[in-house]
């Protein structure tokens, strides 16, 4: 590294967020990037470890010490190229990834890791406004259909197109992106960056077919007959439900219904506001403490909710890393998102027992406190309580893939109900592959991108393309 003592000379610093009172008035991104000079100082803190554990933490295997050094030296163009070798969409992961690389950083032993995520985002921002297509001169003559345009499908499709294959991506919605488009709020990731990547992929030869529901408008068997290979990248689209008394009441909704509606508003779509979901003037209860729950909180506050409460079934996590959870493992600690900071009341160890309504509309939920005993949740006698709410959002994750996509095709499932694949992404059906959450289960965006890249290499082998792709360009 250019400054081998940088981690001793400089304190950890990161991007700052605009004040809460300002940012809750709009749905634009509110993180303020560090100036390049400050980024160079932060990059100099990288220790260039003999064993870079940040690689272990990152599913993509990003060459983190290498592009940290390039940023420190002010060589942003070279840093862009180095980052693009492993990550198709760093402008996405630089915004919404929980940064397992930072958790694995050697400096995180003292809880002061290199600000890898901020540096990654800055590298991506250096080029996102002027992306150039990467084309291969010779076409393979092979055709691939990718079903689903979330992060796994986009990464897989882009890799295969850059190898010279003809790629068609089928998307049931009217735009590409999947949960990147309709799940992640614009205050976390504005969609112009997604549009820029889609435009780049189109210039690289990828064809997008929107509003085509495979398994309905087009059967999977038809694609298998029409293409040399088919990749299913449909995600884990089935939300986890709460089958409790009162579930049928108006005002109880899945998180994705709520988030999708708002993202369409921001996109300028025509919304029937008389029927659309809105938290304005309501007491909102979000059940589920993960990222989706956090997104519901931030969206509700911006819509003008009267109050927002957040429940989590499991006990409150510790404030510090516990001895049984040592570095470089992912730290199982309490996390407070930017949305939590904006005014939500949080509670842990709470089990919902029933939805309570009046006139067919939800008016609240009955709950009871629970505790962990020998790995099992046990209700605490006499701890029942009620929470008043006119809008209840279920944000408890996803149960698995929508299997209507594979209708008519005898695809083997694994024990978790996901599509069963080998290390190359192959299913038991000839020419059919699966990538992302529909095969590995609900996971992170960074895992979806990594999985899309892995399966692209598996498809390349299947198509006898010769050598696996090592990505180039940006």
C-alpha pair distances (Å), 202 with each of 134, 161, 311, 325: 11, 10, 43, 45
Global pTM reads 0.94
- What is the DSSP secondary-structure string of 314-368? SPPPPSS--TTS-TTSPP------TTGGGT-EEEESEEEEEEEEETTEEEEEEEE
How would CATH label the architecture of 143-237+399-462?
3-Layer(bba) Sandwich (3.50)
What contacts 443, CB < 8 A, 6 or more positions away? 436, 437
Query: Which CATH number applies to 241-396: 3.30.70.20, 3.50.50.60, 3.40.50.1370, 3.40.50.10540?
Result: 3.50.50.60
- Dihedral sign, Cα of residue 434, residue 435, residue 437, residue 443: positive
Percent of the chain with pLDDT over 90: 90
- Dihedral sign, Cα of residue 388, residue 393, residue 396, residue 402: positive
Task: Render pLDDT for 54-112 as a digit per residue (tens, 0 to 9).
Answer: 988 899 999 999 999 999 999 999 999 999 999 999 999 999 999 999 999 999 999 99
- The two tokens of residue 46 are 């990288």
Q: Write down the pLDDT at residue 13.
A: 94
Q: How many C-beta atoms surround the C-beta of residue 37 within 10 A?
A: 8
CATH of domain 6-130: 1.10.1060.10
The domain ranges of the chain are 6-130, 143-237+399-462, 241-396
Round the average pLDDT of the chain to a whole number and report it.
Answer: 94
Local structure of 379: helix, strand or coil: strand
Whose structure tokens read 């592959």? 433
State how far the Cα of 340 lies from the Cα of 351, in Å rounded to an integer: 20
Whose structure tokens read 């297509």? 133
- The two tokens of residue 459 are 């498809």
- 1 — pLDDT class (breaks 50, 70, 90): low
Instruction: Provide the pairing of β-strand 166-171 with 207-210.
Output: parallel
Contact 5, 105 (CB under 8 A): no
């Amino acid at each position: 590294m250019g400054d081998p003592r940088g981690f001793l000379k400089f304190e950890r610093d990161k991007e700052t967020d605009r004040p809460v009172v300002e940012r809750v008035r709009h749905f634009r991104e509110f993180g303020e990037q560090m100036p390049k000079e400050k980024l160079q100082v932060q990059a100099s803190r990288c220790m260039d470890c003999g064993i870079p554990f940040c690689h272990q933490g990152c599913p993509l295997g990003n060459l983190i010490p290498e592009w940290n050094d390039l940023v420190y030296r002010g060589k942003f163009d070279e840093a862009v190229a180095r980052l693009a070798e492993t990550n198709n969409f760093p402008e996405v992961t630089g915004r919404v990834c929980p940064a397992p690389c930072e958790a694995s950083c050697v400096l995180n032993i003292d809880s002061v890791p290199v600000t890898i995520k901020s540096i990654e985002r800055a590298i991506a921002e250096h080029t996102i406004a002027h992306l150039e297509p990467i084309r291969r001169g010779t076409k393979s003559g092979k055709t691939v259909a990718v079903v689903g345009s979330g992060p796994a499908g986009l990464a897989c499709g882009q890799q295969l197109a850059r190898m010279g294959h003809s790629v068609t991506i089928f998307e049931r919605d009217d735009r590409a992106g999947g949960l990147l488009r309709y799940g992640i709020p614009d205050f976390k990731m504005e969609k112009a960056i997604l549009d820029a990547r889609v435009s780049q992929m189109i210039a690289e030869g990828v064809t997008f077919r929107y509003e085509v529901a495979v398994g309905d408008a087009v059967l999977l068997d038809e694609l298998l007959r029409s293409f040399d290979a088919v990749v299913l990248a449909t995600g884990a689209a089935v939300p986890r439900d709460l089958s409790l008394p009162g579930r049928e009441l108006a005002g109880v909704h899945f998180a994705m219904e709520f988030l999708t509606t708002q993202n369409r508003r921001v996109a300028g779509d025509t919304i029937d506001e008389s029927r659309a979901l809105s938290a304005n003037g309501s007491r909102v209860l979000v059940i589920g403490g993960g990222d989706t729950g956090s997104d519901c909180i931030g969206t509700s506050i911006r819509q003008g909710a009267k109050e927002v409460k957040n429940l989590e079934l499991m006990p409150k996590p510790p404030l510090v890393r516990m001895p049984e959870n040592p570095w470089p493992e992912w730290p199982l600690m309490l996390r407070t998102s930017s949305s939590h900071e904006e005014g939500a009341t949080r509670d842990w160890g709470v089990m919902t027992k029933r939805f309570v309504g009046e006139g067919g509309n939800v008016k609240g939920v009955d709950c009871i406190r629970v505790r962990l005993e020998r790995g099992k949740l046990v209700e605490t006698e006499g701890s029942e309580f009620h929470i008043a709410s006119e809008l209840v959002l279920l944000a408890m994750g996803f149960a698995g893939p929508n299997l209507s996509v594979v209708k008519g095709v005898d695809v083997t499932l694994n024990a978790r109900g996901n599509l069963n694949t080998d290390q190359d992404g192959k299913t038991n059906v000839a020419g059919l592959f699966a990538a992302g959450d529909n095969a590995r289960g609900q996971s992170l965006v960074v895992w979806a991108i990594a999985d899309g890249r892995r399966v692209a290499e598996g498809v390349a082998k299947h198509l006898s393309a010769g050598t696996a792709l090592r990505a180039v360009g940006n």
